[in-house]
Amino acid sequence: MGFKKKAKQMKTTIVNDKNVERKWLLIDAKEQVLGRVSTQIAHFLKGKHKASYSPASDVGDYVVVINADKIVLSGNKSQVKEYFSHSTYAGGSKFVGFEEALEKKPTFPVEHAVKGMLPKNAIGKRMFSKLHVYAGESHPHAAQSPQAV
């Protein structure tokens, strides 16, 4: 009878806030479809592109979005799409169209779409805080040297 070699055990590494490696990513939203860009942004914020991904921990990267005012919608959604909010008072419902929302606050449609794709808990709020959306070409995060996606 021969002795069987014992297989080497691999160590499982648990990634937490102290030992996670975060990158800065730059996404140009110019002439891109809102839903397609938003899913890509949410993917990077959650950290699903990393091997160390875990749904219970925040391992995502920082994302800088530029040209958010030049985002487009497919079909005739730019005339039809509306954003709903309510003041919690009777008759306090408000509807704002996509084009009007883009005029008032150009970063709102991207932020709203991405926020809806993140978890609805404290981890989701931390993930959303790593998103930086800007209407124009310039952004104040040049020192972090974000990589273009």
Neighbours of 147 (CB within 10 A): 10
Residue 144 in any domain: the answer is yes
Give the whole-angstrom CA distance, residue 114 versus residue 26: 15
Structure tokens at 3: 């002795």
Please give the tally of structural domains in the chain: 1
Query: 17-64, pLDDT tens digit by residue?
Result: 788 999 999 999 999 999 999 999 999 999 999 988 988 889 999 999
Model-level pTM greater than 0.85? yes
Residue 83 in any domain: the answer is no
- 126 sits in which H/E element: helix 122-128
State the pLDDT at residue 12. 79
State the pLDDT at residue 2. 66
Residue 133 in any domain: the answer is yes
| CATH code for the domain in which residue 132 is found | 3.90.1180.10
Domain that holds residue 64: 24-72+107-148
State the pLDDT at residue 6. 74
Residue 50 in any domain: the answer is yes
Query: 77-126, pLDDT tens digit by residue?
Result: 999 999 999 999 999 999 999 999 999 999 999 999 999 999 999 999 99
Residue 6 in any domain: the answer is no
Give the whole-angstrom CA distance, residue 33 versus residue 71: 6
Beta bridge partners of 27: 65
Residue 120 in any domain: the answer is yes
Residue 8 in any domain: the answer is no
Residue 5 in any domain: the answer is no
Give the whole-angstrom CA distance, residue 29 versus residue 38: 9
